[in-house]
Each structure stands twice: as structure tokens, then as C-alpha cells.
Amino acid sequence: MLSVGVVRIGYWCTLYLLNRTINMVTLRNSTKIRTTPDEIFKWLKNLDKNYREWHPDHVKWTNETENLDKGNIAYYEEYIHGEVHKSKARIIGIEEDRRIEFANLFPMGIVCPKGSFIIEREGDHCVFTATLSFRFGWFFSRFAKSRIKAIEMHMKEEGENLKKLLEKRQVQ
């Protein structure tokens, strides 16, 4: 008889092999914000202070180290689709005033391995783009439509809320 551990290892190995042959789906949301790239970047670098203000479904964000820099790990919790999601993410790329890229760690990283915040200047405003990439794109698009809609709505609300927060600062 196979032990539970062997079955679990087989399960995760199967998921890994499936990932090598199955396309990823990337969800993307862009929002125009009347501010500077520097202001958006500073706000994102202080997510430990700003996270709960950003969206009512955000519960917690903590940096395992003092700053949000490449290689550092952050822990976050948020409600999506009525369920709390707890995850750790490693910052894998930072380009000052332009982008922050992260890789979700186990177990979230199995399904949603990476995401990013991208800032692009366009005239007197910036375009803030959030992305999340999901493995098993065919599965999600077919069997998890309500979850995809909930994530897309959450990302859209984050963009709109960030716009309100940062443009309000510009007026003051």
C-alpha cells in the first residue's frame, strides 16, 4: 500500500509536469493616474503601511525584512471570492519608478507563480498596470470562471482605489 507521502509527492510531480505543457493565463488591469511614477513607486514600496487602505478586502502585509527590495520576502493576506488567501512572495525584480515583480511562494506559487506592478508615464499622468499569471489556463478558463471574475474585479478595484488615494494626495 502506498503511503500518503508518496501519493502527495506524485500529485505535486504531476502538477509540475502538467505545467510544462499547459499555457499560462495572465490577468492584467491598467489604470490611468494623474501623478508621477515616483509617487506611485514610493507608495508601493510602503505597502506594509498602505496595504489595508488600498482595498477593503486587504487584511495584512508584512515585509520579512525592513525594505521591499529585490530578494526580500513579503507576507500578505486578502479576501478574494469570499475566502482569505494567505501567501508569501519573493521580490524578483525592481526597477526604480518603473516596476516591481514578485514570485508567489509555495503553496500559492503552484497556481499563481508570479505577478507585477508596472508604472509607465504618459504625458501628465501614469498608467499603473497590475498583472497576475496563472498556470493551468485551460482549467481556470473552463472551470473557475467565477474565481477569475472575482480576481479581475479585485484588480480593477485596486487600480481605482490607488487612483483615488494618489490623486487625492496631489490635491492636498
Q: What is the pLDDT of residues 23-77, one digit of tens each?
A: 788 999 999 999 999 999 999 999 999 999 999 999 999 999 877 889 999 999 9
User: Which residues does 40 contact at the CB level (< 8 Å), separation at least 6?
Assistant: 33, 97, 119, 126, 128, 162, 166
Q: What is the pLDDT of residues 84-125, one digit of tens each?
A: 999 999 999 999 999 999 999 999 998 899 999 999 999 999
Number of domains comprising the chain = 1
The reply to whether 157 falls in a domain is: yes
164 pLDDT higher than 60: yes
The reply to whether 88 falls in a domain is: yes
Q: What is the CATH number of the domain that holds 134?
A: 3.30.530.20
The reply to whether 36 falls in a domain is: yes
The reply to whether 6 falls in a domain is: no
Report the relative pairing of strands 58-63 and 73-80 from DSSP bridges: antiparallel
> What domain range includes position 131?
24-171
The reply to whether 1 falls in a domain is: no
139 pLDDT higher than 50: yes
The reply to whether 86 falls in a domain is: yes
